Chain A
Amino acid sequence: MSVLDLAPPRDAGMVTRLWRFIRHNPALSLALAFLLLVLALALFSSFLPHDAYRQNVLVRNSGPSLKYWLGTDALGRDMVARLAVGARVSLTVAVASTIIAVAIGVLVGTIAAYAGGFIDNAIMRFVDSMYAFPDTLFAILFAALIKGQLGGDASGWMAPLAEAYRLSGGLLGVLLTLGLTGWVTTSRLVRAQVLSLKHAEYVLACRLAGASHWFIIRKHLLPNTLPVILIAVTFVVPNAILLEAGLSFIGVGIDPPTPSWGTMIASGAQSIQSYPHLLVFPALAIGLTLLALNVVGDALRDLLDPAVSASRGAAT
């Protein structure tokens, strides 16, 4: 091990490396293309030929046709439009809750690792106890609590929160739930990374030079946990999408008429025998999105993990 290896990895030529990486990886290209399509649908759902909320009971439950590409639901609403709006809900939930979760995770992980000793122990035992809970169960408990507190008639300081909850159609509750339950793994990863960096020689040198804790964390520790954070994101996001679907499926998530993939699957599951398209399309949407995210996550890990990059470099 040479001294040079201890220096933080440089990201020179990242864009060209990335582009080459994508071109040589067809699965990744497909996955990215699919995610871009989902993103485009979510962003531009209002330009689709039908409105996601417009009901027409005369054409309810109709199968895929030229007019309705993926058919209509039990109230005659266009499935394409609903899937697109559902994508917006799912992606909003995923991104926002990931930001909350990762922020908490990074904060907790960094503090635990940097402080060490009793604080580290206390925090990590708490994290362990969070781990002991199955996350779905925890999310259900949490979501039901939020719905119970904010879904009814809140007063005092809760009133504006309850109003926001009501206007968001339950979205706020799901966001908070996923954000507040999804940070545990991130905190562990970040802690491990910070622990290993804490004793790196350039950090020690910095500390000897009289830098403050905050300076060290900001300048040296956080930037170097970025790869770990990115990797954490690649599994927090799919997990959030899946959990949102699960929560909406059992009815503690998004309220109608806002479509989310989870609520669409829930109502589709009831009509599997008579109208399979109501279940198949949302299930496909969520399945393919998760697959694509996993492919991207894997690729990102390959790209960012020095060990894998090195072996890849040696092989070519």
Chain B
Amino acid sequence: MLKSHVLKAFAVAALFTTALAGPVDAASDKSAFRMIVGEPRYMDPNLAADFAIYVNAQLFQPLARTDKDGNLVLLQAKSIELAPDGRTWKIALNPDYKWSNGQPVTAADWVYSWKRILDPKTGSETASFLSDVENAMDYNKGTLTDAEKVGIKATGEYTFEVVTALPAPQFRAKLALPYLTPVPKAVVEEFGEKWVAPEHMLSNGPYKLVSRVNDQSIVMEANPHYGGQKPAIPRIEMTIASGDQCTAQLRAYEADEIDFTTCVPSQDIARIRGDADLGKQLDPFALAATEWVQFDMRQAPWNDKRVRHALALVIDRQAIVTAVSDGTNRIATTIVPESIPGSNTADALKGSIEDAKKLLADAGFPDGKGLPQFTISTTSTRERPLIAQLLQQMWADNLGIQANINVLEANAFRAWVQTRKTEKYDIMINGWWSDYADPANWFGDLVTADPRQNHFTNEAFAEIVKKADAETDPAKRAELYRQANKILEEEQPMTALQNPTDLWMVKPDVQGLAHEGVLNMYHIGEAAFK
């Protein structure tokens, strides 16, 4: 009796093993590229604004990408030309690129997609990338209902035009953004929100979606109709992990369950770097991004420049970079990263701890006396609580001032920052990652538009940025932004701490997986197994 049960169990186990053997074998002879990603909030490229763009980038392709020197490398576009008026971008599509069912990708698809991004009914967070376009924001806010008046229109089957409201040189970089891709008009109109289901979705990039199980997996296979170089890796298997992506990725990577990680948890960096094998698989990429500590510029004592300078001068950035990244992040002395035109580390605030003490005394707080106890608010992720504790001690040791720390869960922190538009705060730790390598993304989208609720207002700064935004001569433009940079650093509404570095790890048998653009995109279609 028992024996027969045991036999049955063995038989079942054997069945399972053979059933499982399929994918396992497939992985061992490396026909699939395995990785771990977070659950994308949206698979719809018109809506994806978070890390889902990295998943989407394997499926959907923009017109072009920007190379290291800021030049456009054409992908889906055959040509991109700016008319002499400085406002009209004439785009010709490359008809070789087709949807994954073999249908051509037409200008109508592109125009439909971009207007869909702007449509207030879509509610896309990526609409801001098209803010330069004539009437785009009025349409997006709902004050203009006629979509025909938006400056995006098809001029032929494979040509379309985009007209900006003002001459906008930074729009060239935006044309290469991974957020701005086409969607298949006919399919979206037929299936509505369900068009992203694997059985309906069409993509124009190197891969097509084969299956997606919510919170479990995403599988892609090569798009047979892709117009560019056919991918050498025929299949991508993404496993969805919840929670801390870095930890999940590293554990799976070390267990040889995945081929690629996009980050290494702070606590493991030293061990990985010290490991003879794993250390070689590290692939760092310096991001055009900055993390900083910012002051509520509307509140006393933070509206006093001397207080801000005092607090900034006593920060030991090396200690921060060492503690949170084992020294792999870089020290940031200016808010706008060095690689962005207009920024210059020569503009950075300079002074000693003695200067800082004197400044604080001049502001009415000798030895920190009289400065009310304040709160440093931060998100719980990205090692920011560590940064907060380091700052707390640096300020206590050098200036004798006391701070509390308020750690909020990531989503709660995001919501909290939004409410700071009207509510007051003391100090918060925040950051900005370049979307496109242009000063407008920093001086305009970050400082002027103020999504981080810094409340910095300065007439001279605003004047210069306005002038720079419309300047078409790159050299003059960079010079104007440089002036803005000087004001920004002198005023010190935020104090730069570090420029983050992405730490990829790639298995030795994968080659050609390159870092692309300021967003550090990866393109598995361009990689291969050795």
A contacts, CB < 8 Å to B: 53, 55, 57, 60-61, 74-76, 151-153, 166-167, 169, 251-252, 255-257, 270-271, 273-275
B window 252-279: CB within 8 A of A:
254, 265-268, 270-271
Instruction: Say whether B423 contacts A152, CB under 8 Å.
Output: yes
Chain B residues in 8 Å Cβ range of A167: 373, 404
Give the B interface residue count (CB, 8 A): 33
Do A257 and B271 contact each other (CB < 8 Å), given the known contacts A57-B323, A251-B380, A270-B244? no
Stretch of B86-94, B221-229, B385-393 contacting A (4+ beta carbons < 8 Å): B385-393
Instruction: Say whether B407 contacts A251, CB under 8 Å.
Output: yes
Chain B residues in 8 Å Cβ range of A255: 404-407
A89 to B393, CA, bound (A): 21
Instruction: Say whether B267 contacts A55, CB under 8 Å.
Output: no
Chain B residues in 8 Å Cβ range of A166: 375, 404, 406
A55 to B392, CA, bound (A): 11
Do A75 and B404 contact each other (CB < 8 Å), given the known contacts A57-B323, A153-B424? no
A281 to B297, CA, bound (A): 43
Instruction: Say whether B389 contacts A57, CB under 8 Å.
Output: no
B window 312-340: CB within 8 A of A:
319, 322-323
**Closest CB-CB distance, A75 to chain B, in whole Å?**
6
Chain A residues in 8 Å Cβ range of B385: 256
Top 9 nearest A-B pairs by Cβ distance? A271-B267, A274-B271, A57-B323, A257-B389, A274-B268, A57-B319, A57-B322, A251-B380, A256-B385
Instruction: Say whether B409 contacts A55, CB under 8 Å.
Output: no
Instruction: Say whether A60 contacts B404, CB under 8 Å.
Output: no
Chain B residues in 8 Å Cβ range of A55: 389-390, 393
Closest to B375 in A: A166
**Closest CB-CB distance, A52 to chain B, in whole Å?**
12
- Partner of A75 from B247, B254, B268, B390 at Cβ < 8 Å: B390
A275 to B266, CA, bound (A): 12
- Partner of B392 from A151, A257, A270, A273 at Cβ < 8 Å: A257
Chain A residues in 8 Å Cβ range of B323: 57, 60, 74-76
A151 to B405, CA, bound (A): 10
Chain B residues in 8 Å Cβ range of A53: 393
B251 located at the interface, meaning its Cβ lies under 8 Å from any Cβ of chain A in the complex: yes
Instruction: Say whether B393 contacts A61, CB under 8 Å.
Output: no
Chain A residues in 8 Å Cβ range of B244: 270
Closest to B246 in A: A270
Do A273 and B268 contact each other (CB < 8 Å), given the known contacts A166-B375, A255-B405? yes
10 residue pairs of the A-B complex, CB under 8 angstroms, read A53-B393, A57-B323, A60-B323, A74-B323, A255-B404, A256-B385, A256-B407, A257-B389, A273-B250, A274-B270
Instruction: Say whether B247 contacts A169, CB under 8 Å.
Output: no
- In addition to A153-B423, A270-B266, 12 A-B residue pairs with Cβ atoms within 8 Å of each other are A55-B390, A75-B386, A75-B389, A151-B406, A152-B416, A166-B375, A166-B404, A255-B405, A256-B385, A270-B267, A273-B250, A273-B254
